[in-house]
Structure formats: structure tokens, C-alpha cells
Structure 1
Amino acid sequence: MLLLGPPLLAPPLFALTFPQIDPILIELGPFAIRWYALAYVTGLLFGWWMAKRLCASPALWGGKSPIAPEEFDDAVVWIAFGVILGGRIGYVLFYNLPYYAAHPLEALTVWHGGMAFHGGFLGSILAMYLFARRRGLSFMSMLDIAATVVPVGLFLGRLANFINGELWGRPSDVPWAMVFPHAGPLARHPSQLYEAGLEGLTIFAILMIAVRAGALARPGLVAGIFVFLYGCARIFVEFFREPDAQLGYLAGGFVTMGMVLSLPMLAVGAWLVLRARRRPKLNAVSPA
């Protein structure tokens, strides 16, 4: 019998040691600051700071920015609520609806974990749409600004997932596989770090190159690039990430919910890019 590799159902002979980092950064009596919450707060604060800097840089827009920097003092609050509410609702609907239908009050216990990126993504878009409409601002330009800074929050969030020892990868015998504390004896892909590198650092670097090249002058272009690249990165990482236990594989022994939810992002992202490329630039001078 020909074996293509060592059996993955046995405890590993060698695996990297999972770094035992306390998920709680600071604990004072009943008050505790967790790395996961700190990642959300830091991501939002950094996004707020960077968004204002982007709006205050006319050279990036080919002229005057369509959104004043001070608008994001209020927008960040709307976006924060959109991310939190959307992320929680998305997790309840997409990943564990039968459980929460039987235990509806558990849907409110956000501190127990359970957030879905795709839900937070849709929630933040709705929040920005309502805010832009209320203030008479360019919705597409708001999306572009948000898309530029989101990868930083994704990077921090995936690092927090790794610290928490959650959302681990599939069993593997790669040299950097590790045994996670709550995932049994098998060595697994540290898929959280793959996501941090792809969804966070790589996409952020590409978007910054696009912004420096003048992409903000075409409303919707940066947002389209982000949505398309995230869909690609998430689908790729899903081949290494263990699917949620309550869902498992949806079809063919390899399709996951993360893949299904990311597929429409490819089409939407491509449409936004094509749409932006066909429209005139902001601050373009009309021929006399």
C-alpha cells in the first residue's frame, strides 16, 4: 500500500509548541481587558486616525477630498455599531442558527465569542450608507476610505484569534504545524496566522500602493479591490482552516460556509472595479 505521507490521525511526533498567552491582558476584579476586545478597539481607533489623514491629503484625491476629515469623528461610532451588530447577527444566522433559535438569549452574550466577518462587513456597509445619506456625503468614497484601513483591523483580529487558540486549522504534518490547547492531540495549520498575513498585511500593502497611485480619485475602485482580494484570500485560507464543528463541510467534502459567503465578494469586487474604471475621476477638469 502506497502512503503519500504520514498518517494525520495519529498524535504528531514533532510539532511546534503553541505559545501559552493569557487571552486576558489585564484583570482587575470583575473587570477584564481581553486581547480580542483590544484588537477591535485598536483597529477602530487606527482606522479613525488613518481615515482622517486620507481625507486631509488632497494629493491622494487629485484635488479636494469629497469628505472632510472631521466627518469621521462621528462616522467611526456608526461603523463600530455596524461591525459589532452585523458581526454578531451574521454569526447567529450563518454559523449557528439552530442553537440560537433554541437559546435566543444566548445571542446577546457577545462576550462569549462568536463574530462573523461577513456579517460585520455588511453591517459596516449599511452603517456607512445611512451615515453618508444623512450627511449628504459620497457613499462610494466612504467605502474606499474604510476599505483602505480595514485590513489593519483584520490583522489584529486574526492575531487575537491565535492568542485565544480558536479558529484553528486542519490537521497537518507541515514543519510549522502546532497542537492547539482545545483542538485535540493533532498538529494543525496555524490558519489564523495565514489569515493575518493574507487578509491583513498583504491586502493592506496592495491597497496602499493603489491609493498612492491615485485610486481614491475613482470612487469605488479601492473598495472593489479590497472586496475582490478578501474573497480570494478567504477562499484560499479555507482550504487550511478547520470548518466550524456545528456546520462541517457543506458539499463535496471541502466546501465551507466561509467559501460560500466569500464567492459573491469576487463578483461584487470585480463589478466595483469595472464600474470605477469606466467613470470619470474626481476633480477631473472638463475639456473646454
Structure 2
Amino acid sequence: MGPLEWNIDPEIIKLFGVFPLKYYGLLFVLGIILAYRVAKHIYTFENVPLERLEKLSAFLMIGILTGMRLGHCLFYDFEYYSEHILEIFLPFKITNDGWHFTGFTGLASHGGSLGAILAIIIYSQKYKTPVLWIMDRIAIVTPILGAFIRFGNFMNSEIYGKPTNGNYGVIFVRDDMIPRHPTQLYEAFSYLLIFGLLWYLYKKTSVVQKQGFLLGILLAVLFTARLIIEFFKENQVAFEDGMILNMGQLLSIPFILAGILLLVFSKKQTLYK
């Protein structure tokens, strides 16, 4: 059995003949819905009013999307967007010929993580809820959204891996005819496994009562997986070619260290009060 040839058109249809509906967007929305459903189960299980989750969800959506967009523009393509500031915030490419709708074509998961953390901190201050209580529970559902984003990347034939140098892997026909590591799927399935681990710990053990433990597990394990998988991934931007570790790996290290510190911190804490 040879490599899989992947040649799916990422665009499903153009709405009104102008706005493209893409698999990426649909999978992004599906990931949000599934993550929300699991979070709703957690809040119901702990007898926490669902209106709190609804308010938190609004904060998170703004924080995640803003963070993902700014993360891409600042970490991966600052040179371009520093001269095209409007394009950071608008889904258009502005040229001498006019404005061309493109959607937001650059999103960075590390930026989304930072945006989510900031959104939770702001929410916790506004509604007087312990920040680690929120983060521990949102940590459980975060890998679901991450997995579906990577499934979307696979449908887009983007963020793929290096050549396998063998008769296996995936050929992304829209780019070239080289068998490559489907690193989008590596990440997606690793994230689903991490969700399974966090869900098991939440349901079957008492670790959720330790402040920051589940968040620490998420940060340490997920970003370690990301760091390792990046070794099989093609660089996303040209300036990474001369780097020992690429941007995704460099950005993962602080999250891993933060996760380890949280795990150490959580072992010294009493139960939530």
C-alpha cells in the first residue's frame, strides 16, 4: 500500500458567489460546539449555573480569535503586517487593484492559547471566580478545539510535514507529489488522546481538586507533543530555515515550563475552598 493522495478542494462553496465556505471554518465551528458541550456537562455536573459558562464562552471566543490572529501576524509574518496593519483586523487583502476578500488566512495556535489565558484572567476578575478553577476545567476541553483546527489544516493541505523519504505518508497533490508526514493528523490525534487523559483524570480521580493540576498537565503534555511533532513538520516561514528550533518549538517551551511549574505548585496546595 503506497502513500495516500490527498486532493480535496478546501472550499466547499461560494456563498452568494463571493464568500467562500471552507472545511476549515466548518471544522473550527464544530470543534467549538463539541468543546462547549463537554464544558456544559462539567458545569452541570458541578452544579455551576450555565449562565456563567455562557459569559465565559463569549470572553474566550474574543480572546482566542484575537490571540490567534495577532499571534500569526506578530510571530510569523511581522515584516509584512507591520506595513499592512489594516489587514491584521480585516479579512481582505488590500492591493492597488482594490480590496480582495480572503478571510483571515493566518492564525497561530500559540497566540490563541495566550488569548484564552488573558480572557480567563479578565473574566475571573470581573466575575470574582478563582482563575485556576476556570482554567483547570477549560483545560479539559481545549484539546478538542485544537484537534478540529488541525483536521481543518489537513483539509486545507497546509501545515504538512517533511518528506517521508519512503513509499508511505500523504501526497498533498495541490502542492507537490512528494509523500509527506501528515503532521496535522499527528497533532489532531495526539490532542484527542490528551483530552481522553484529562477527562479520565477529571472523572476517575480527585486531582481536579488541586489548583492548577489539570492545566499543568495540559500545558506540559500538549506542548511537548507539539514540540516533538514540529521536528517532522515543514517550516512555515522562510526565516525558520536557519534556526535550530523553529518558531512553533520556541513558543512551546515557555508553555511546557509553565505546565511543569503548575504541577509542582499544585502538589503543595490544599483542596479548592
Both proteins in one fold, TM over 0.5: yes
Equivalent residue for 2:60?
Answer: 79
Question: Does residue 23 of the first structure (1) align with residue 13 of the second (2)?
Answer: no
Q: In the TM superposition, what is the alpha-carbon distance from 1:216 to its structure 2 partner? A: 1.7
Native 8 Å contact 1:170 1:240 kept in 2: yes
Pick from 94, 99, 103: which aligns with 2:75?
A: 94
Q: In the TM superposition, what is the alpha-carbon distance from 1:219 to its structure 2 partner? A: 2.0
Q: Say if 1:201 and 1:174 are closer, same or farther in 2 by CA, change over 3 A.
A: farther
Q: In the TM superposition, what is the alpha-carbon distance from 1:173 to its structure 2 partner? A: 2.4
Q: In the TM superposition, what is the alpha-carbon distance from 1:25 to its structure 2 partner? A: 3.4
Distance 2:32 2:187 in 1: 19
Structural mapping, 1:163-182, within 5 Å: 163-182=155-174
Distance 1:138 1:72 in 2: 14
- In structure 2, the residue corresponding to 1:85 is in which secondary structure? helix
Distance 1:216 1:250 in 2: 42
Structural mapping, 1:243-254, within 5 Å: 243-252=235-244
Q: In the TM superposition, what is the alpha-carbon distance from 1:92 to its structure 2 partner? A: 0.6
Structure 2-normalised TM-score?
0.89
Q: In the TM superposition, what is the alpha-carbon distance from 1:250 to its structure 2 partner? A: 4.5
After the TM superposition, which of the residue ranges 133-142 and 214-223 deviates more from structure 2?
A: 214-223
Task: Report the count of equivalent residues.
Answer: 259
* 4+ residue runs over 6 A deviation: none
Structural mapping, 1:1-288, within 5 Å: 15-18=3-6, 20-29=7-16, 30-58=18-46, 67-110=48-91, 111-198=103-190, 200-212=191-203, 213-252=205-244, 255-282=245-272
Distance 1:183 1:170 in 2: 13
- In structure 2, the residue corresponding to 1:242 is in which secondary structure? coil
After the TM superposition, which of the residue ranges 119-128 and 173-182 deviates more from structure 2?
A: 173-182
Listed as ranges, the gaps of 5+ residues in structure 1 are 1-13, 59-64, 284-288
Q: In the TM superposition, what is the alpha-carbon distance from 1:155 to its structure 2 partner? A: 1.0
Q: In the TM superposition, what is the alpha-carbon distance from 1:128 to its structure 2 partner? A: 0.9
Native 8 Å contact 2:5 2:173 kept in 1: no
- In structure 1, the residue corresponding to 2:176 is in which secondary structure? coil
Larger strand proportion of the pair? 2
Distance 2:201 2:239 in 1: 37
- In structure 1, the residue corresponding to 2:236 is in which secondary structure? coil
Distance 2:177 2:33 in 1: 38
The aligned amino acid for 2:26 is L
Distance 2:112 2:240 in 1: 22
Q: In the TM superposition, what is the alpha-carbon distance from 1:15 to its structure 2 partner? A: 3.2
After the TM superposition, which of the residue ranges 206-215 and 224-233 deviates more from structure 2?
A: 206-215
- In structure 2, the residue corresponding to 1:56 is in which secondary structure? helix
Listed as ranges, the gaps of 5+ residues in structure 2 are 92-102
Structure 1-normalised TM-score?
0.84
The aligned amino acid for 2:42 is L
Equivalent residue for 1:10?
Answer: none
Give % identity.
29
Distance 2:20 2:232 in 1: 32
Q: In the TM superposition, what is the alpha-carbon distance from 1:268 to its structure 2 partner? A: 0.2
Native 8 Å contact 1:147 1:223 kept in 2: yes
CA-atom RMSD, angstroms?
Answer: 1.8
